[in-house]
Amino acid sequence: MNNFIVMQGHTYLEEKDLGIIWSPQKDKGGNVPHSWKRMTEVKDGDRVFHYVKGNIVAISTASEGWKVASKPSIMQIHSRWNDEGYLVNLEYHELDISVNVRDKFNEIVPLLPIKYSPFQQDANGNQGYLYPCNEELAIKLLELISELNIYHIDEEQLEFGIDDIRRTEHNTLIPVIAETESEVKTKIRLGQQKFRNDLLQLWEGKCALCGIDLSELLRASHSKPWKDSSNEERLDPFNGVLLCCNHDALYDKGFIAFDGQGRLHISSVICDDDYLKYGLVPSTKIQIHSENKAYFKWHKKNIFR
């Protein structure tokens, strides 16, 4: 199961009534924007978060995979767009209370990918139609939706209004959110377990920097983070390095990096006098595999401070 965010704007009501999302195939110049082409990635059971005018207003489930289809006749879409497009049938679940992205942006922004983010750094939505939604971002959106829309019983409350009970029983969001969260967390857990096991073998069960070999203190560090990686990259053992807890945290936050030769780079944020404190030796060179190089370079360019 994959997750997406669709930027609908004025098309939301029409598409919700039809139970679909639809985009053209090509623009007037014959180009295929990435956010339209991404429609061909949607499969049966995938989840879609619906963004309209600054808010997440609904979550839906694809009832089948994408297909080529003409623009529905009742949809008022700009005439410059081709009538042939991509269509996905969805089961919409509209929120009683929408999630304002700007209000929650401090929680959302750390989970946004560098490439193909649905939101700009000022919390506005990016132009385009369908964007990927990585698992970590999906879990955060589900948490925010749950906080606002799912009725939680107060343990100290002895009497419940009949309307509250009915709303809980008939709230279709509850099973959708529960199923989505369970599937997403399972996907992350299984992926991380495989990634860790592969890195333990690849790095001979030792921290690449300090040699610690106590398994409980070792972390499988992604060079290209989960949020920025494709499904294949997330599980690629060469997209990572085995590090102890201390060095993992430094690598994850961009305080250290490795170049294509495996040479350690230390951020200027860390004072020279503190190198010993953090177990860092300038110009240390670790033994790497050729397949690590592209990932190390990506990390150094995009994460390193």
Q: How far is CA 52 from the centre of its chain?
A: 19
Angle between helices 135-149 and 173-202 (to 10 degrees): 150
Q: Helix and strand tally (H, E) in the chain? A: 9, 11
pLDDT recorded at residue 82 = 62
User: From CA 284, how far away is CA 263, in angstroms rounded?
Assistant: 6
Query: How many CB atoms are closer than 10 A to CB 282?
Result: 10
Taking residue 93's Cβ as centre, other Cβ atoms within 10 Å add up to 20
pLDDT of residue 149: 87
What are the residues whose beta carbons fall under 8 Å from the beta carbon of 220, sequence distance 6 or more? 192, 195, 196, 199, 200, 240, 242
Kindly tell me if the per-residue pLDDT of 261 is higher than 90. yes
Residue 84's Cα: distance from chain center in Å? 30
Q: Give the start-to-end residue ranges of the domains of the chain.
A: 3-149, 203-302
- CATH superfamily for 3-149 is ph1033 like domains (3.10.590.10)
Q: Per-residue pLDDT averaged across 276-299, rounded?
A: 96
For residue 185, with 0-12 CB atoms within 10 Å meaning exposed, 13-18 middle and 19 or more buried, which class applies?
middle
Strand-pair partners of 47? 3, 61
Q: pLDDT tens digit string along 197-253?
A: 999 999 999 999 999 999 999 999 999 999 999 999 999 999 999 999 999 999 999
Single pTM value for the model? 0.88
